[in-house]
Amino acid sequence: MGQHYLQQKNDTLSIHEALEIIRENLPRATSESLFLEKAIGRYLAEDIYAPEPSPRYTNSAMDGFAVRWQDILAVTEDHSVALRVIGESQAGDQFAGIVGAGEAVRISTGAVLADGCDTVVRVEDTEEKDGSIHIKHVRAQGQDIRHRGEEFEQGELLLSRGARVNAAAAALLAGAGVAKLNVYKPCRVAILVTGSELVSVGEEIADDQIRDSNMIMLKAALQEAGAEVVRSIRVTDDALTTQRAIDETVADIVICSGGISVGRHDHVKKAAVDCGYTPLFWRILQKPGKPLYFARKGDMLLFGLPGNPVSAFMCFTHYVKPLIAALNGVAFGWPMISAEASDDIANQGKRPNMVRVKLQWRPNSGYSISHAARQGSHMLTSLTRADGYIILQPGQVVGRGERIDVYRYEFLREPI
Ligand code: AMP
Ligand code: MG
């Protein structure tokens, strides 16, 4: 367990300090052995070495004829050489004999190269006449052959720990005969949404009610981040109900939404403490998402996200997502990209501002950013119309043409 940061009353942490506290409290990643198909989408908890070489056997790269180079030396533009076709090597049904002088074997792509041969001549460079094959064009000795082990030898590193088992990786592993692998277990997350004013989408709504968008946002974000949602509930703003809900929730991470400000109906912080959680921080000098709350009880972590949808999303993205990534063996961090401001972007406020920006690709000069319109912490369009965000200190201006690091929303993952 990491050190506790003892936060003073009314004290506000910097973004950096808050991240440090989260890093100090990272739970240990755990892994399990799964069959390849069950492991899709997971992250490798081990380096994978090739159990066998690739290709496993020397084979043809083309449909054509397997021949002996010495037999076709005489081929020129106006002189072809005739060879006797003595059999066929198909993928999955290799030719059993040995090819001798003046002989050839019909061969398909991926089929075992017939014994005695050292070259493949493509179909289009030949002509079949009177039971023989006439070789009309040759390229080089050994052409169109894939040699055993030319891609990798047995024992070579194929994939490193932290790599995602995506479509290409799964194909590589299947091809190389890796049937079982050690992958990280997804961290188990519970979602607890608070708010008496909330109704679900599709339900009837009164004039003074609000549709709950944080529940679905968190479910989607957790799925994208590679976590498993083990529980999701919504409670009214009632102290006892909130406490009971936290008390009966067992998960690696409990994510609460709303109820962490200073209002009379904000019960999450007290409820967490009453359930035995130790507060690690509350309030960060940032906009949006100032009231973020973080606590710990044994191996369980609890985040209290602000209820405002944009604040909740930004806090999740900047603080919770890197933690989930770390539990998948990926470096604690964000997918960054450098981009040039296409106009002045300023922070005129008193807090560091996570300014949502739109990225645009310009051929030859790279990415540029522009300020996404209307950035209120209740305005979800500031997220859907943006690709990422920049963090500007109070008074900081990024001038037109200046470069700045952008935190991208998509998680391009780098192994630790
Ligand atoms: P709170 O942090 O609970 O004070 O909520 C701050 C603001 O966010 C209020 O306007 C809430 O109505 C709104 N809000 C809280 N939770 C949600 C939610 N799950 N979905 C959408 N808006 C919410
Ligand atoms: Mg609330």
Topology at the third CATH level for domain 336-408: Beta-clip (2.40.340)
Nearest-CA residue for atom 20 of ligand 1? 212
Enter the DSSP assignment of 123.
Answer: G
309 Cα–ligand 1 center, Å: 7
The alpha carbon dihedral of 106, 108, 112, 113 has a sign of positive
CA of 403 to the centre of ligand 2 (A): 38
For the chain, domain boundaries? 2-30+186-327, 32-54+150-184, 59-146, 336-408
The protein residue whose alpha carbon is closest to atom 8 in ligand 1 is: 308
| Topology agreement, domain 32-54+150-184 and domain 59-146 | no
Beta carbons of 229 and 223 less than 8 angstroms apart: yes
Check residue 365 and give its pLDDT: 87
- The predicted structure's pLDDT at residue 414: 41
The residue whose CA is least distant from atom 17 of ligand 1 is 307
The protein residue with its alpha carbon nearest to ligand 1, atom 12, reads 210
Taking the CA of 210 as reference, the closest ligand is 1
pLDDT at residue 10, as a whole number: 58
Of 191, 192, 193, 198, the one to substitute when testing ligand 1's pocket (max ligand atoms within 8 A of C-beta) is 198
The residue written with tokens 């079982």 in the block is: 180
Ligand 1 closest atom vs CA 291: 2
> What are the helix and strand counts (H, E) for the chain?
8, 27
Cα–Cα dist 400/101, whole Å? 74
Which ligand is in closest contact with the Cα of 236?
2
Residues in contact with ligand 1 by the CB-under-6-Å rule are 193, 195, 197-198, 210, 212-215, 257-259, 261, 263, 306-309
Q: Which two tokens stand for residue 65?
A: 């004829």
Nearest 5°: the CA angle 205, 208, 214 is: 70
- Supply the CATH classification number for the domain 32-54+150-184: 3.90.105.10
- Cα dist. 155→17, 67, 178, 384 in Å? 43, 32, 12, 46
pLDDT score of 142: 96
Eight-class DSSP state of 97? S
Measure 100 CA to ligand 1 centroid, in angstroms.
Answer: 82
Nearest-atom number in ligand 1 for the CA of 210 is: 12
Could you tell me the sign of the dihedral formed by the alpha carbons of 95, 101, 104, 110, in that order?
positive
What CATH fold (topology level) applies to the domain 59-146? Molybdopterin biosynthesis moeA protein; domain 3 (2.170.190)
CA of 2 to the centre of ligand 2 (A): 30
**Cβ atoms of 22 and 319 closer than 8 Å:** yes
DSSP for residue 378: T
The CATH number for 2-30+186-327, chosen from 1.10.290.10, 3.20.20.70, 3.40.980.10, 3.40.50.1820, is: 3.40.980.10
Q: Are 216 and 229 in contact (CB under 8 A)?
A: no
Task: Provide the pLDDT for residue 138.
Answer: 95
Q: Return the residue whose CA atom lies nearest to atom 15 of ligand 1.
A: 307
CA of 312 to the centre of ligand 2 (A): 12
Please give the number of the atom of ligand 1 that sits closest to the Cα of 234. 19
Q: Which ligand has the minimum distance to the alpha carbon of residue 291?
A: 1
Ligand 2 centre to CA of 267 (Å) is 9
d(CA 108, CA 95): 11
Residue 240 CA, ligand 1 centroid: distance in Å: 19
Distance 212 CA to ligand 1 centre (A): 8
Cα angle value 287/292/294 (rounded, 5°): 150
Identify the nearest ligand to the CA of 261 by its number.
1
Q: How far are the Cα atoms of 7, 49, 82, 136 from residue 101, in angstroms, in the given order?
A: 87, 41, 11, 18
Per-residue confidence in pLDDT tens, the chain, 416 aa: 444 444 555 578 999 999 999 999 999 999 999 999 999 999 999 999 999 999 999 999 999 999 999 999 999 999 999 999 999 999 999 999 999 999 999 999 999 999 999 999 999 999 999 889 999 999 999 999 999 999 999 999 999 999 999 999 999 999 999 999 999 999 999 999 999 999 999 999 999 999 999 999 999 999 999 999 999 999 999 999 999 999 999 999 999 999 999 999 999 999 999 999 999 999 999 999 999 999 999 999 999 999 999 999 999 999 999 999 999 888 899 999 999 999 999 999 999 999 999 999 888 889 999 998 788 889 999 999 999 999 999 999 999 999 999 999 974 434 34
pLDDT at 9: 52
CA distances from 334 to 7, 70, 388 (A): 26, 59, 10
Q: Any idea which ligand is nearest the CA of 209?
A: 1
